[in-house]
Chains A and B, each alone.
Chain A
Amino acid sequence: MWIYEKKLQYPVRVTKSDIPMAKYLITQYGGPDGELSAAIRYLSQRYTMPTDKSKALLTDIGTEELAHLEIIATMVYQLLKDVPPQQLRRKGLGAQYTQHDHALYPSDANGVPWTAAYIQSTGDPVTDLHEDMAAEQKARTTYDHLISLTDDPGLIDGLRFLREREVVHFQRFGEALNDVQGFMNSKKVF
């Protein structure tokens, strides 16, 4: 069961000046290495994890990723708010406005819609945890790129927070892997 708290995990500060960033930020909303992919991946894999620790961790990190989805959405929402269509067009967001107005739509930075092809849930817990560790690195790298693309200090602040979360999640998934491998090895029958 999920509960929503009416509060962001991190305070988002955005000036309206770096409007083209909205086009790049959206990849962390609906792109291959974004927060929606992370949430659905972990929340799907959790059902077939073999240990208490791994079930809990996948549930909790999956839940946190939904909170990150909200942060990215807030960044995009505030960047685009009240920007007239002609200005959106001049800043490279004409196609986005045509199809979505100022709305949030899960796609990557090129407008390719989100797909479950971005995730896997193989049922092998060792395999799934490796996918999760790779996913955290890909997300962290994407945040490195996004940080390099902007000068807005408010945006950089929020992106640095999200980036550090990926580092921590990688550590936790690594610990879960240690735990799961220990469990799988102890189950072997000779």
Chain B
Amino acid sequence: MDPKQLQMLRELMELEFVATELTLYLDTHPDEEAPLRHYNAVAGELTYKKRVYEAAYGPLFSFGFSPSQYPWQWIKGPWPWEIKY
């Protein structure tokens, strides 16, 4: 996989991990404002960066969550377990 794609993927992993941690924290602390603001900021940044990634490298989601060019790009490899990170 080309280094630029790997780097973008890594960035998405990092941001999404922050969002995951905040999700779990907010599940048990739903009334706290600061972590919720943090979560929304990360969610916004993620949405943007995922679209940039997908425009270059194809859909990250199927089932209607991402668009695809022709032909159906979702099936294209490499699949996550095949990548040498």
Contact = CB atoms under 8 A, between A and B. Distances in A.
Interface residues of B, number: 28
Given A9-B17, A70-B80, A3 B63 contact: yes
B7 to A, nearest CB: 11
Given A53-B30, A78-B81, A61 B24 contact: yes
A13 B85 contact: yes
Interface on chain B toward A: helix, strand, loop, or mixed SS?
A: helix
Interface in B3-48: 9-10, 12-13, 16-17, 20-21, 23-25, 27-30
A60 B80 contact: no
Contacts of A23: none
B72 interface: no
B9 to A, nearest CB: 6
Contacts of B60: 5-7
Given A3-B65, A8-B13, A53-B28, A60 B23 contact: yes
Contact of B21 (A8, A11, A168, A179): A168
Interface residues of A, number: 29
Interface string A112-125: 00000000000000
A10 to B, nearest CB: 7
A138 interface: no
B70 interface: no
Nearest to A56: B27
A7 B81 CA distance: 9
Interface string A6-37: 11111111000000000000000000000000
6 contacts: A6-B60, A10-B17, A11-B9, A13-B85, A74-B80, A74-B81
